[in-house]
A = this chain, B = another copy of it.
């Protein structure tokens, strides 16, 4: 038995995913990632110095933003507000941690790579799309460092992607869009690597606390979705 999703998708079906490299020209990594109608521009820039608070080795970090016009109702511009919201900070810290989980920072020399994830259009899942696209931008930035002969060995030792799962009208579903997300009893963002191991698990239930077997079902769905996303990243990088 299966509940009807607003999009008509099967409960374990991702939205159409596209990963377009070289979307802008100045940043060494520039990726437009789409999970259905969610579109995020991920650019990876390189600075030839580590962060001030770190004695040696490089660093990988991320910043996140949502263009005011990306949502149904115009959002307020955080630069004009004078600060980033708690939500924005949570998301960009999550993206940064996720990327660092597949990088050997000591092999980065003294470079800092910053991946900016700016949401051009939002339809749910902006943080998971950001992580999935940011990884590809990071690979391209690292490649440009390697081409310049700056690095002695490859700092990337894994691959990372993310997807959301949640319980929609009583049924576990994969990759929630905005219509599902806003009507969802609980949802979880899962970040995994190419070996099927967990890097981050963030599940939240404001309305309906979830039982252990629900949690298990959600993790199963997420694992399947991430296998597909890992494959999509590989295709894009092979292109």
A231 within 8 Å of B by Cβ? no
| CB of A74 closer than 8 Å to a CB of B | yes
Residues of A84-133 contacting chain B, CB below 8 A: 84, 86, 88-90, 92-93, 97, 100-101, 114, 116, 118, 120-122
Q: Is the CB of A212 within 8 A of B205?
A: no
Are A90 and B86 closer than 8 Å at their CB atoms?
yes
Q: Is A201 an interface residue (CB 8 A)?
A: yes
Would you call the interface of chain A mostly helix, strand, loop, or mixed? mixed
Query: Closest Cβ of chain B: how far from A75's Cβ, in Å?
Result: 9
As for how many copies of this chain the complex holds, the number is: 6
Option from B27, B74, B195, B202 in Cβ contact (under 8 Å) with A114? B74
**Shortest distance between the CB of A172 and any CB in chain B (Å):** 14
Interface size on A, residues (CB 8 A): 68
CA distance A74 to B89 in the complex (A): 19
Q: Does A45 lie within 8 Å of B69, measured CB to CB?
A: yes
Residues on B with beta carbons closer than 8 Å to the beta carbon of A219:
212, 215
